[in-house]
């Protein structure tokens, strides 16, 4: 890392203006682990499974879904969450997990 960049690193490892966040939630977790934690800690009223309808391809029937806000409330396959949506939900899931242990 360049000396100028290293000087801009704040406490906890967050690099201002770039993408290095040493203390970011979920660091060291795979995408699948993050999705599993998000699903586990999403209230049952806001999650479910893809049913056999015209909404889902046949190979996605039974896959986990959650309700999210994308220009309105939307049912989304858990695997289709964007990185930003995962980053938005993961801190809550981690806090809930810590409370259980």
Task: Give the mean model confidence (pLDDT) for residues 93-99.
Answer: 90
Q: Per-residue pLDDT tens for 40-67?
A: 999 999 999 999 888 899 999 999 999 9
Task: Give the mean model confidence (pLDDT) for residues 8-18.
Answer: 45
- String of DSSP letters for 4-68: HHHHTB-GGGBBTTSS-BTT-TTTT--HHHHHHHHHHTS-GGGEEE--SSTTS-GGGTT-EEEEE
Q: Per-residue pLDDT tens for 65-85?
A: 999 999 999 999 999 999 999
- Per-chain mean pLDDT for the chain: 81
Q: How far is CA 22 from CA 12, 88, 94, in A?
A: 7, 17, 16
Q: How far apart are the C-alpha atoms of 43 and 20, rounded to whole Å?
A: 31
The tokens describing 23, both together, are 């203390």
């Amino acid at each position: 890392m360049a000396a100028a960049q290293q000087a801009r690193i704040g406490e906890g490892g967050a690099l201002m203006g770039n993408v290095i966040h040493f203390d970011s939630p979920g660091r060291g977790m795979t995408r699948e682990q993050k999705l599993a934690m998000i699903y586990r800690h999403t209230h049952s009223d806001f999650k479910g499974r893809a049913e056999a309808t015209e909404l889902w391809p046949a190979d996605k029937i039974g896959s986990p879904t959650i309700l999210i806000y994308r220009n309105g409330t939307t049912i989304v396959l858990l695997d289709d969450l964007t990185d930003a949506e995962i980053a938005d939900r993961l801190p809550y899931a981690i806090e809930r997990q810590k409370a259980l242990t």
